[in-house]
Structure 1
């Protein structure tokens, strides 16, 4: 696997919100809600417990993990 270059900018709430929206719309997460404190409440499935993420960086890390898992489990298109 090719290592990713380091992030060039600090993760923002706007970027995290955009990714949360995509993950929920594509049904990769059941819910992702930004709290007034800046934390994110995320739930994979309706019957799973809610997880608390500390901030935008954690939500973006979750999005990257989901994206990597999705790419690694789908058949190669040739």
Structure 2
């Protein structure tokens, strides 16, 4: 393999680099619930509650106002934003 034909076998993408993945499926309620549970367990959100109409009520900290997210896709998008913020902040500290 010449050096211009692609990345070396030990190449690893920059974890702080831009996200290049795009979804090909719509997030499900189960996926959104799993992300909500992880975010609350790791104290990245204070609370996340699924209401019967499919919306999510989230609060970043106990004193913050409650945000209303419109469905599973919005919950998964919030998880992605929090994950991106956490990764970029961690890389700046190193």
Q: If the length of structure 1 is used for normalisation, what is the TM-score?
A: 0.91
- SS for the counterpart of 2:22 is coil
Aligned match of 1:27: 43
Residues 18-71 of structure 1: CA deviation (Å, up to 9, x unaligned): 000000000000000000000000000000000000000000010000000000
The alignment of Structure 1 onto Structure 2 pairs a total of residues equal to 76
5+ long unaligned stretches in structure 1: none
Alignment of 1:1-78 (within 5 A): 1-74=17-90, 75-76=93-94
Q: If the length of structure 2 is used for normalisation, what is the TM-score?
A: 0.76
For 1:2 and 1:69, the matched residues in 2 are separated by 12
For 1:64 and 1:35, the matched residues in 2 are separated by 21
Which has the higher Rg, Structure 1 or Structure 2?
A: 2
5+ long unaligned stretches in structure 2: 1-16
- SS for the counterpart of 2:58 is strand
